[in-house]
Amino acid sequence: MRLRVVDLETTGGDRFSEIIEVGFVDVVPDGEGWRALPPVSKLFRPRGEISVHAMAVHHLTPEHFSPDDPHYDEYALRAMFAEPADVMVAHSARFERSFIADTATGGLPWICTVRASKAAWPQAPGHSNQVLRYWRGFRLDPALAGPAHRAGPDAWVTAHILMDLLKETSVDQLLAWSNAPRDIAVVPFGKHRRKPWSEVPADYLKWMAAQTEMDADAVAAARSELDRRKAV
């Protein structure tokens, strides 16, 4: 089995942003455990501007890109992922999945190490990539693990979080934790924001339940509330 840990850097934080760096680390069986293969990363020349806020995170500026750097597209990603994998992995996989189409991965399932670590280690002081790195006591080569917020190094750190999780649980359990609906106690947006689901009008719940592009966990919560009312 090959688990592909991927990390992206982009021109901004919304769905219209461009991918400007892809990093990945393949995690493979090694006897009774797992090992991480060397990280791979590649820059992609943006077609538009990089936001100041994005530059402040990853410190990639227009000067980092040459005219020879390709623009990102699905075919370029497929070329990077030439070796077949079995499962995709990312820290906060929702972000990566919003940029990487299923057609680029062959529809592989995803593990989210944020959601899995929250389930496995609820006592952690935080569940960000770097907090878990130090809380779990990883001793990583600085040349591979830094700088933070670059695609290759972040994928390397996440790969070690994944391997640490796999010491305690299975790939199947990580997938189950990653894909289970979040427990959302209140409506996260819209005109009924912050209301408990029990106080939301049924017609609004039915509208939410029929949406296909809305937050999947919010839709699941609306459907669950409708089912609860039917059972009463």
Say how far apart CA 22 and CA 1 lie, in whole Å: 22
Kindly indicate the confidence band of residue 68, based on its pLDDT and cuts at 50, 70 and 90. very high
Count how many domains the chain has: 2
Cα separations in angstroms, 64 against 73, 114, 156? 19, 30, 21
Most confident of 8-17, 50-59, 209-218, 221-230: 50-59
What is the domain extent for residue 189?
Answer: 182-232
Helices (DSSP H) in the chain: which residue ranges? 52-58, 74-80, 93-99, 102-105, 113-120, 129-135, 142-145, 151-166, 171-179, 202-209, 216-231
Whether the per-residue pLDDT at 35 is higher than 90: the answer is yes
Say if residue 203 is in the same domain as residue 166.
no
pTM of the predicted model, to two decimals?
A: 0.84
Say if residue 132 is in the same domain as residue 34.
yes
Say if residue 58 is in the same domain as residue 90.
yes
Say if residue 205 is in the same domain as residue 102.
no
Say if residue 24 is in the same domain as residue 77.
yes
Cα separations in angstroms, 3 against 158, 162, 192, 231? 12, 9, 40, 41
Per-residue pLDDT reduced to its tens digit, 178-220: 988 777 889 988 899 999 999 999 999 999 999 877 777 888 8
- Predicted local confidence at residue 211, as pLDDT: 86
Per-residue pLDDT reduced to its tens digit, 94-135: 899 999 999 999 999 999 999 999 999 999 999 999 999 999
What does the mean pLDDT of the chain come to? 93
Say if residue 114 is in the same domain as residue 194.
no
CB atoms within 10 A of CB 61: 10
Whether the per-residue pLDDT at 55 is higher than 80: the answer is yes
Say if residue 12 is in the same domain as residue 120.
yes
- Of 179, 198, 219, which residue is a domain's last? 179
Say if residue 196 is in the same domain as residue 175.
no
